[in-house]
């Protein structure tokens, strides 16, 4: 069984200060690294009123400097918003700092105002994503290549050879098929697209992908002795997150679990935000089995780091020993 973390550093007005959230993120990554977590995901969006982290490479480099074993994943980099040559350089440096612990998940993007910020059009996102992936592959060879009328050489090369894996994130059948043809893997926002990905790989004569690993069907899991009391503190942050994503997704044609919701009780009943006792989480984790993955989003929506730490410590003290006893760790 694997354990993972994810961070977007949202800080709405009612939340903890942004600097405290960055500090908590780095401290929690160091804690997770020592405890044997497998990976940490760093997310990206731009121009968000709540300060959603716009600089994933900066945060990834900071995490790399504070850890020794955990894999650092950008999940997902909105590649069409970036110069792919510069992405290749930044990614190579983070991979060097981390000694090969860096992985890149690439999204095409779906928020129109973000594209407008960078003088780009959503209509070009698939072309820019496909072109960008090809640039990364060529750049990480360390050899000169032609790009937009210029000869380009990217140094240093990544630490990992021949290069870090490139995974496509996506929320459509088209993204699944594109991942099969240009990437090393696929991370769908909804599970039904995995079958499309596998079918396209088979059509292309590629080996079948490893089955998706089971995880809890939620966006957030928190461990508490008194889940009802904890939910009262968590609910505003959960509502902020799901409504923010829901607003961005509206009209984009993108499929995801988030949708606008104003009622905290209804949101909790949806099961997307789980607040469980240590015993309840242990039981659910055991049901997932040895191939299962538990993902923690500790400071979701700018959650107070002290409350986030209380959950992580309960996991360490009350859940993890039970998983060890069950032979899952």
Match 């996991």 to its residue by tokens: 315
By percentage, how much of the chain surpasses pLDDT 70? 98
Residue 305: inside a domain, yes or no? yes
What is the span of the domain harbouring residue 280? 214-329
How many C-beta neighbours within 10 Å does residue 146 have? 9
- Residue 191: band (very low, low, confident or very high) from pLDDT cuts 50, 70, 90: confident
Residue 317: inside a domain, yes or no? yes
pLDDT for the residue 146: 97
Q: How far apart are CA 206 and CA 191, in angstroms?
A: 20
Q: Is the dihedral of CA 267, 272, 273, 274 positive or negative?
A: positive
Residue 243: inside a domain, yes or no? yes
Residue 315: inside a domain, yes or no? yes
Cα angle 56, 249, 48; round to 5: 45
Q: What integer is the mean pLDDT of 203-212?
A: 94
pLDDT for the residue 255: 60
pLDDT per residue over 160-188, tens digit each? 999 999 999 998 999 999 999 999 999 99
Q: What integer is the mean pLDDT of 118-122?
A: 96
pLDDT per residue over 269-304, tens digit each? 999 999 999 999 999 999 999 999 999 999 999 999
Measuring CA to CA, which residue among 84, 173, 184, 182 is closest to residue 128?
Answer: 84
Q: What integer is the mean pLDDT of 241-246?
A: 94
pLDDT for the residue 143: 98
Q: What integer is the mean pLDDT of 47-64?
A: 98
Q: What integer is the mean pLDDT of 42-53?
A: 98
Number of domains in the chain: 1
pLDDT above 70: residue 251: no
pLDDT above 80: residue 13: yes
Measuring CA to CA, which residue among 78, 99, 232, 230 is closest to residue 158?
Answer: 99
pLDDT above 70: residue 320: yes
- Residue 324: band (very low, low, confident or very high) from pLDDT cuts 50, 70, 90: very high
Give 250 or 99, the one with higher predicted confidence.
99
Residue 19: inside a domain, yes or no? no
Residue 244: inside a domain, yes or no? yes
Cα angle 217, 221, 227; round to 5: 120
pLDDT per residue over 131-159, tens digit each? 999 999 999 999 999 999 999 999 999 99
Q: Who's near 269: CB < 8 A, 6+ residues apart?
A: none
How many C-beta neighbours within 10 Å does residue 127 have? 12
Q: Who's near 27: CB < 8 A, 6+ residues apart?
A: none
Residue 269: inside a domain, yes or no? yes
Q: Who's near 141: CB < 8 A, 6+ residues apart?
A: 157, 162, 163
Q: What integer is the mean pLDDT of 214-231?
A: 96
pLDDT for the residue 306: 98
Q: Who's near 329: CB < 8 A, 6+ residues apart?
A: 1, 36, 320, 323
By percentage, how much of the chain surpasses pLDDT 90? 92
pLDDT above 80: residue 256: no
- Residue 55: band (very low, low, confident or very high) from pLDDT cuts 50, 70, 90: very high
Measured between alpha carbons, how far is residue 23 from residues 9, 149, 238 in Å?
A: 10, 43, 21
Residue 100: inside a domain, yes or no? no
Average pLDDT, the chain: 96
């Amino acid at each position: 069984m694997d354990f993972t973390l994810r961070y977007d550093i949202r800080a709405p007005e009612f939340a903890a200060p942004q600097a405290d959230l960055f500090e908590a993120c780095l401290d929690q990554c160091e804690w997770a690294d020592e405890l044997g977590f497998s990976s940490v995901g760093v997310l990206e969006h731009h121009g968000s009123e709540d300060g959603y982290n716009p600089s994933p490479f900066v945060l990834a480099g900071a995490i790399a400097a504070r850890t020794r074993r955990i894999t650092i994943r950008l999940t997902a980099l909105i590649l069409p918003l970036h110069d792919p040559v510069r992405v290749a350089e930044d990614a190579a440096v983070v991979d060097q700092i981390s000694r090969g612990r860096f992985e890149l998940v690439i999204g095409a993007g779906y928020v129109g105002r973000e594209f407008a910020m960078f003088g780009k059009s959503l209509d070009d996102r698939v072309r820019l994503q496909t072109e960008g992936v090809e640039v990364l592959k060529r750049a990480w060879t360390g050899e000169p290549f032609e790009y937009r009328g210029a000869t380009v050489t990217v140094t240093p090369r990544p630490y990992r050879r021949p290069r870090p894996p490139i995974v496509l994130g996506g929320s459509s059948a088209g993204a699944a098929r594109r991942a099969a043809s240009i990437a090393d893997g696929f991370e769908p926002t909804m599970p039904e697209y995995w079958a499309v990905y596998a079918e396209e790989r088979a059509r292309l004569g590629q080996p079948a992908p490893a089955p998706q690993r089971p995880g809890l069907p939620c966006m957030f899991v928190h461990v508490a002795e008194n889940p009802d009391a904890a939910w009262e503190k968590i609910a505003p942050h959960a509502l902020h997150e799901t409504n923010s994503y829901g607003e961005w997704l509206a009209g984009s044609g993108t499929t995801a679990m988030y949708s606008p919701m104003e009622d905290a009780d209804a949101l909790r009943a949806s099961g997307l935000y789980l607040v469980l006792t240590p015993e309840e989480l242990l039981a659910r984790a055991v049901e997932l089995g040895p191939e299962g993955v538990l993902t923690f989003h500790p400071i979701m929506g700018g959650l107070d780091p002290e409350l986030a730490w209380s959950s992580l410590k309960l996991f360490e003290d009350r859940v993890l020993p039970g998983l060890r006893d069950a032979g899952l760790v």
